[in-house]
A and B are shown apart, each in its own frame.
Chain A
Amino acid sequence: MKVLVPVKRVIDYNVKPRVKMDGTGVDLANVKMSMNPFDEIAVEEAIRLREKGAATEIVAVSVGPQKAQETLRTALAMGADRAILVMTDDEVEPLAVAKILKAIADEEAPGLVILGKQAIDDDSNQTGQMLAALLGWGQGTFASKVEVTGDAVAVTREVDGGLETVSLKLPAIVTTDLRLNEPRYASLPNIMKAKSKPLLQKTPADYGVETTPRLKTLKVVEPAKRSAGIKVAGVDELVAKLKALGVAA
């Protein structure tokens, strides 16, 4: 079974994003970029499926600028077998990404597509579900456990009240939540080896996908700031404050 793993190059999760002065977006110039953390979990899960014998080949895909190559090389260094970069300098919305991935899935015929549940830049949480809709496949979103048996996959999902397990017919879509696994670090020999793994370059036009955005960003601002309040000296003062708030008798 082939596994397709889409990955996105985003601002590193340790960097505090700064809103541009002109209100057009977030300043990404000279900012450290990395693989979206949920996508790292997706790559790791694919590798574990291969280690268990459930997967045979892992293909990493990214839709983004030339520099997204680095993100794909990271996936290759972790253990993906080959990569496809769909090159574009435009911002591509989840719907258009899903359309490109659908075209790639039609060509590659994977048994599973594993994606991060959301990217930490636009926080949309849409691409996996949209891809499932376009392919007409089942979807196991926000996964904390994935088990492939025969022609089905059981996905345990993080839901509001706890956990839920669904069984999906293969091929299917899985989106990852944080507790699914802890991604490995790529070793130096594997980073070197990744440099010679195949990386195919494509464009959205190759897949006949129009990427014009449907949502226009009118402005981006910083959220309203909370100002620091007061410090109390001890428990008695805190009890008095709680009583004043009406939360304690």
Chain B
Amino acid sequence: MSVLVWVEHEAGAVKDATLSTVTAASQLGDVHLLVAGAGVGSVAEAAAKIAGVAKVVVLDDAAFEHALPENVAPAIVAMMADHDAFVAPATSNGKNIAPRVAALLDVMQISDILSVEGPDTFTRPIYAGNAIATVQSADSKKVITVRGTAFEKAAREGGSGVIEAATGSDAGLSSFVGAEIAKSERPELTSAKIIVSGGRALASAEQFHEVIDPLADKLGAGVGASRAAVDAGYAPNDYQVGQTGKIVAPEVYVAVGISGAIQHLAGMKDSKTIIAINKDEDAPIFQVADIGLVGDLFKIVPELTGKL
């Protein structure tokens, strides 16, 4: 069985989400990578070195620069004549492209898998992670998205895949207008080892930054937020951790002033160690926290930052 894997990349580098997706794909068969973009020669070379990769297919054309699904999906469908499965990370690109591919192949996609139980059997979260379903696909080809935090990352070195060029075209349905990508010196949430997240208890955008940022800087941590904090305008949406935001699983997750709504827990409960700081000792966050501290975050967090 050969598996085509979507490579998530940015600024010439392969992103971590790709590496966990390679691990999931390798449990199904031979791993071929697809690098799509414009001027992506160096990405293809880096991709070819990932451990276990047999082949890298490159779509290098202006039409693929922004991964527009209208252009990318037909090119992938053409490649699926020689592949048994298409596997993408459950990133915003993966979630945008994979179902378009699946429908063109007349395949029912399996979203956000947590494990590979067999060649056609997978587990996946439903109801915001309140239940885990084991599903078996009856389709001859598989289209799958992978939850990155559920699989180990494949090594960036050790492979020697063959690089092959492919072609495709602009479908003429869509065009890229622009992007506002948040620039941050801090580690990206989905790959950060430590995350400090703030909730609605921070009470304003100013206090969110005054309290959370120094602690995150001290720990070299990424900064997250609960949906309540994002909805209240204390933090931008790309900070959001939860069912409707990012799914994270760092070594250490520090939840500051977060009560622990189901939808937030769905996004962080696979973190290795959870630390909660909250003034309400009955807050649900303490039911999942390994270490809890009850008290006023506006006193505790600056003191903690000072003592680290």
Is B165 located at the chain interface by the 8 A CB criterion?
no
Cα-based distance from A166 to B99 in the complex (angstroms)? 18
Q: Which residues of A are found within 8 Å of B10, using beta-carbon distances? A: 161
Q: How many residues of B contact A (CB 8 A)?
A: 89
The answer to whether B100 and A133 have CB atoms under 8 Å apart is yes
The answer to whether A129 and B96 have CB atoms under 8 Å apart is yes
The answer to whether B291 and A241 have CB atoms under 8 Å apart is yes
Cα-based distance from A127 to B108 in the complex (angstroms)? 10
Cα-based distance from A229 to B269 in the complex (angstroms)? 13
Q: Which residues of B are found within 8 Å of A219, using beta-carbon distances? A: 133-134
The answer to whether A230 and B290 have CB atoms under 8 Å apart is yes
Q: Of A80-88, A193-201, A210-218, which binds chain B? A: A210-218
B103 contacts which of A130, A163, A231 (Cβ < 8 Å)?
A130
- A129 and B103 contact, Cβ closer than 8 Å, known pairs A218-B134, A226-B288, A238-B293: yes
The answer to whether A123 and B131 have CB atoms under 8 Å apart is no
- A166 and B174 contact, Cβ closer than 8 Å, known pairs A95-B103, A215-B110: yes
The answer to whether A95 and B102 have CB atoms under 8 Å apart is yes
Q: Of B20-28, B34-42, B49-57, B177-185, which binds chain A? A: B177-185
Is A104 located at the chain interface by the 8 A CB criterion?
no
A170-220 at interface with B (beta carbon < 8 Å): 172, 177-179, 213-220
Q: Which of A137, A167, A236 has the most CB of B within 10 A?
A: A167
Is B294 located at the chain interface by the 8 A CB criterion?
yes
A216 contacts which of B131, B135, B194 (Cβ < 8 Å)?
B135
Cα-based distance from A144 to B95 in the complex (angstroms)? 16
The answer to whether B179 and A221 have CB atoms under 8 Å apart is no
Is A21 located at the chain interface by the 8 A CB criterion?
no
Q: Of A43-51, A58-66, A152-160, which binds chain B? A: A152-160
B98-156 at interface with A (beta carbon < 8 Å): 98-104, 106-112, 121, 125-139
Nearest B residue to A236, CB-CB: B307
Is A165 located at the chain interface by the 8 A CB criterion?
yes
Is A245 located at the chain interface by the 8 A CB criterion?
yes
The answer to whether B287 and A133 have CB atoms under 8 Å apart is no
The answer to whether B273 and A94 have CB atoms under 8 Å apart is no
B173 contacts which of A129, A169, A234 (Cβ < 8 Å)?
A169
The answer to whether B177 and A166 have CB atoms under 8 Å apart is yes
Q: Give the interface size bracket for A toward B.
A: 35 or more
Is A11 located at the chain interface by the 8 A CB criterion?
yes
Q: Of B67-75, B79-87, B197-205, which binds chain A? A: B67-75
Is B300 located at the chain interface by the 8 A CB criterion?
yes
The answer to whether A228 and B289 have CB atoms under 8 Å apart is yes
B132 contacts which of A120, A132, A220 (Cβ < 8 Å)?
A220
Is B13 located at the chain interface by the 8 A CB criterion?
no
Is B286 located at the chain interface by the 8 A CB criterion?
yes
The answer to whether B125 and A123 have CB atoms under 8 Å apart is yes
The answer to whether B182 and A124 have CB atoms under 8 Å apart is no
The answer to whether B179 and A165 have CB atoms under 8 Å apart is yes
The answer to whether A161 and B110 have CB atoms under 8 Å apart is no
The answer to whether B108 and A94 have CB atoms under 8 Å apart is yes
6 closest cross-chain pairs (CB), A and B:
A229-B290, A129-B99, A130-B103, A214-B108, A133-B103, A138-B173
- Residues of chain B whose beta carbon lies under 8 Å from any beta carbon of chain A: 10, 66, 68-70, 73, 91-93, 95-104, 106-112, 121, 125-139, 172-182, 188, 190, 194, 218-219, 227, 231, 236-238, 243-244, 246, 251-252, 262, 269, 273-275, 281, 286-295, 300, 303-304, 307-308
What are 14 A-B interface contacts by the 8 Å CB criterion?
A: A95-B108, A129-B99, A139-B70, A144-B237, A162-B180, A162-B238, A166-B174, A168-B173, A169-B172, A218-B136, A223-B132, A228-B289, A230-B291, A238-B293
- Residues of chain A whose beta carbon lies under 8 Å from any beta carbon of chain B: 11, 16-17, 19, 26, 93-95, 98, 120-134, 136-139, 141-142, 144, 154, 157-169, 172, 177-179, 213-223, 226, 228-232, 234-236, 238-239, 241-242, 245, 247-249
